[in-house]
Amino acid sequence: MFFYCHSLSDVDFAYCVSYRKFLQKKAIVELRLDLLDFDAGQVKDFFKQTQGLPSIATYRLVEEEDEEMMAEELDKAVRLLSAAVMAGAAYIDIDLEFPENERDWLITLALNYHCGLIVSYHNYYGVQPVSELKAIASRCFALGADLVKIATTARHPDEAESVLALYDWFPADSLVAFAMGTYGRLSRVRALDKGCPLYYVSPRQSRLVADGQPTVFDILDKEYKKLVGDVKAPCSSSYAVRAIIAAALCKGESRIRQVNLSLDVTAAMNVARQLGAQAHYNKKTRIITVKGAQEDIVAEGLKVDGNMLHAGESTLVAEICIALATLSREPVTVTGGKSLLKKRFAGTCTPLLRHGVQMNFTQGRLPVTVSGRPTPGTYIIDGTRRSGAVTGLLFVLPMLEKGSKVVIRKAVGVPYIRMTMNILERFGYTFNGEDFSGLDIFVAFKGRQAMHPGRLRIEGDWTGAALWMVMGVTVGESMVRRLPLETDQGGNMILDVIDRAGGDVGYFIDEKAGVNRGDFSALRSVTFAFKYDLAETPDLIGPLLMLALRSEGTSELTGISRLNGWEAERLRNFVTEFRRLGALIDVDGDSLKITGSFDNKLSGGKVASHGDPLLAMALSAANLISEGEIEITDRAEAEKTWPGFRC
């Protein structure tokens, strides 16, 4: 009989305690104290909080050229291992090469406290003949070891045979002998067949403590290894929409590459045509060519065909169109498709109304007729409303006669504001002042600016990709390709949340596409409750909710009181629909609290997406963790931002 031994490194104290409690007595935990930022007090607290659950305390000394640094490292190792012994560790693991005086002292301490002793030897560079390994193992046993661990490094499959031969000479239930490295992986399994009592694993691929070490994913049953999907991330619709409309405001030809034709992108192309531009999509090359026809917008005003802008079903396109309409010398009507006509826009337009613009809404909704040119100045906007309203201002205000400033109070969705600025700079705008350091932020710019044609590649969509990654971490395995490594998109914040929760995500550089694009792999993991400020990136509500439902404990999404308008409505819809599926969600003041577990399952049922593509995608993903079928009345809404989304 053997036990899985989970090696914990580079994680915090709370994670270690939660992980140890989650495993109960089914497995052993190894605390790699040399790779954990613990002090002696935390070591004692760990064993106090996990009393009765066996754990190993290990400290691997790394030789330092500086004698003073080496002395400090040795002193720390002795203090932490001593604390572990006295606090109730099942074993301490001491390397055979540990300085003799300190080694003997720790061995005596372990004996006095009835703590098990593991004496280890590691060869990280190769393997010795069997005779030498036998001599090393004998020295370890002679020190009074209850378990002896011998690990060499195989550079060829045959090199693992030497270390496995030790099982012919020593008691198998007291010997942990295997080879490290890629060629040594099989030796770990073969050692079990010979009677090895421990099988070392890492919780995730980014936290391996030895080359060739398997992960928790490798030892999970097949039911936890479902391939959720291997997908290529479509372009970020938010990014593409902004770029297409910016291109339509230029005089000349712009080329926008790596575009997928979603409903939002189609709506932006139609608006470009209504602005007098030629907009063509090449399906084979995925390039949109926009040939703008606007002349001097500052002097002559914006030309709009038929004085009508139709935003399709896209909220973002509508928000930009309402702002752009103020640049026309004639009244312009902005309208949209059926679902868009149900949304209220009046509240997001207050800054423009305060600066000389007239808007005639239909009971606060579209269609709206816009007239009057805004005056330059300081525009103060409620940041708890959608960032799309800020996006519209950033498009329009630099074209006014004088400089202006936008002040966003209690800003929400700041990454989207940065994204807009980045795109507009690519088309010729300059911003001469900004401060994003607090809750209230501002952007300043001079007036009489004009846009110029540009060429840019649209990034892969991180918001949709975040959901795929969470599905991999919580269901089985997923791969999302062609994502930017450095981006203004807020969706990539999911990586930090997954990492803090304990999820297993790794990436590989896409060398063909350049150094800023990668393929991300997500594997089923044991995750724990987390805390996150939802106001930072409200669009991540779907992935965060799914992750919380499959994480041990109660996760908390804070900042919900800062959400307003559509963002607040979206949150209410998410809570309503997931509660119908059996999710345990509580609204507590400024927080949303979600109770989950590793194998949590929803009950299924009939739900609606309320015209929200992000909710449609999240409900579709929820099918993967539901015992009953989930029927979504308007599943096709997911197509607005992620064409062909299926799971």
- pLDDT attached to residue 512: 67
**DSSP element (H, E) containing 43:** helix 40-49
Mean pLDDT of 156-185: 96
Q: Is the pLDDT of residue 376 over 90?
A: yes
pLDDT digits (tens, 9 = 90+) for 522-540: 999 999 999 999 998 999 9
Q: How far is CA 146 from the centre of its chain?
A: 43
What count of Cα atoms within 13 Å lies in the side-chain half-sphere of residue 29? 25
How many whole angstroms separate alpha carbon 409 and alpha carbon 383? 5
Cβ-based neighbour number of residue 142 at 10 Å: 9
Mean pLDDT of 93-109: 96
Query: What total number of domains does the chain contain?
Result: 3
DSSP code at position 206 = G
Model confidence at 387: pLDDT above 80: no
**152 domain-assigned:** yes
Helices (H), 354-434: 387-396, 414-426
Please determine, for residue 72, whether its predicted confidence score (pLDDT) is greater than 90: yes
In one-letter notation, the amino acid at residue 638 is: A
In b/e form, how buried is each residue of 341-373, taking b as 16+ CB within 10 angstroms?
Answer: eebebeebbbbbeebebebebeeebbbbbbbbb
**Distance in angstroms (rounded) separating the CA atoms of residues 173 and 189:** 15
**Chosen domain end from 219, 249, 275:** 219
Query: Can you give the CATH number for the domain in which 132 is found?
Result: 3.20.20.70
- Identity of residue 198: L
Residues 376 and 392 in one domain: yes
- Single out the residue in 411, 427, 457 at which a domain terminates: 457
Of the pLDDT bands very low, low, confident and very high (cuts 50, 70, 90), residue 515 is low
Scanning 325-408, the segments in alpha helix (DSSP H) are 350-353, 387-396
pLDDT at 606: 96
Same domain membership, residue 511 and residue 409:
no
CA distance 23 to 432: 55
- The reply to whether 139 and 19 lie within a common domain is yes
Do 37 and 109 sit in the same domain of this protein? yes
Same domain, 302 and 168: no
Of the candidate ranges 60-74, 156-170, 459-473, 591-605, the one whose mean pLDDT is the lowest = 60-74
Q: What is the pLDDT of residue 8?
A: 97
- Residue 598: helix, strand or coil by DSSP? coil
Q: Which long-range contacts (CB under 8 A, 24 or more apart) does 581-586 make?
A: 581/605, 581/607, 581/622, 581/626, 581/630, 583/545, 583/549, 585/545
What domain range includes position 265? Answer: 237-457
Q: Please tell me whether residues 243 and 278 are part of one structural domain.
A: yes
The pLDDT of residue 478 is above 80: yes
Burial class (CB in 10 A: 0-12, 13-18, 19+), 90: middle
Position 390, amino acid = V
Take residue 91 and report the two structure tokens written for it.
């074993």
Q: Is residue 246 part of a domain?
A: yes
Residue range 343-364: mean pLDDT, rounded: 92
Residue 106 placed within a domain: yes
Radius of gyration of the chain (CA): 30
Neighbours of 163 (CB within 10 A): 26
pLDDT over 80 at 259, yes or no: yes
Asked if the model's pLDDT at residue 33 lies above 90, the reply is: yes
**Contact of 40 with 14, CB cutoff 8 Å:** no
Task: Kindly report, residue by residue over 587-614, the tens digit of the pLDDT.
Answer: 999 999 999 999 999 999 999 999 889 9
The residues, ordered by sequence, that sit 6+ positions from 123 with a Cβ below 8 Å of its Cβ are: 151, 152, 153
What's the pLDDT score for residue 69?
A: 86
Residues 266 and 389 in one domain: yes
**Strand-pair category, 3-8 with 198-201:** parallel
Res 511 pLDDT > 70:
no
Mapping DSSP onto H, E and C, the string for 434-453 reads EECCCCCEEEEECCCCCCCC
pLDDT tier at 160 (50, 70, 90 boundaries)? very high
pLDDT, residue 61, reads 93
- The answer to whether 149 and 177 have CB atoms below 8 angstroms apart is yes
Residue 642: which pLDDT band, with cuts at 50, 70 and 90?
A: confident
Quick check: is 646 in a domain?
no
Is the model's pLDDT at 485 over the cut of 80? yes
pLDDT in the model for residue 287: 98
Single out the residue of 3, 5, 2, 6 nearest to residue 526, CA to CA: 6
| Averaged pLDDT score across all residues of the chain | 94
In the chain, the N- to C-terminal Cα span, in Å, equals 39
On the question of pLDDT at 426 being above 80, the answer is: yes
Q: Are 626 and 581 in contact (CB under 8 A)?
A: yes
Q: What stretches of 63-206 show up as alpha helix (H) in DSSP?
A: 67-87, 100-112, 130-142, 160-164, 185-193
CATH code of residue 407: 3.65.10.10
Check residue 54 and give its pLDDT.
97
Question: Both tokens of residue 514?
Answer: 């350049």
Tens-digit pLDDT profile for residues 174-184: 999 999 999 99
What is the arithmetic mean of pLDDT over 405-422? 92
pLDDT interval class at 62 (50, 70, 90): confident
Is the domain of 448 the same as that of 550? no
Q: Give the rounded percent of residues in the chain with a pLDDT score beyond 70.
A: 98
Q: Is the pLDDT of residue 374 over 70?
A: yes
Q: Which of 457, 486, 516 is a domain's end point?
A: 457
428 belongs to a structural domain: yes
Q: What is the mean pLDDT of residues 75-91?
A: 98
The total of other beta-carbon atoms located within 10 Å of residue 377's CB is 16
The answer to the question of residue 55 being in a domain is yes
DSSP H helical segments within 113-182, as ranges? Answer: 130-142, 160-164
Specify burial of residue 287 (Cβ count, 10 A radius: 0-12, 13-18, 19+): middle
Contact 528, 552 (CB under 8 A): yes
Average pLDDT for 354-359? 96
Cα–Cα distance, 103 to 144 (Å, whole number): 12
* Model confidence at 64: pLDDT above 90: no
What's the pLDDT score for residue 222? 87
Residues 279 and 156 in one domain: no
Whether residue 305 lies inside any domain: the answer is yes
The whole-angstrom separation of Cα 460 and Cα 483 is: 5
Distance in angstroms (rounded) separating the CA atoms of residues 10 and 36: 5
pLDDT of residue 527: 97
Beta bridge partners of 456: 256
- Angle between the N-to-C axes of helices 315-324 and 387-396, in degrees from 0 to 180, rounded to the nearest 10: 30
Q: Please indicate, yes or no, if residue 189 is contained in any of the structural domains.
A: yes
Same domain assignment for residues 345 and 433 = yes
Q: Are 273 and 318 found together in one domain?
A: yes
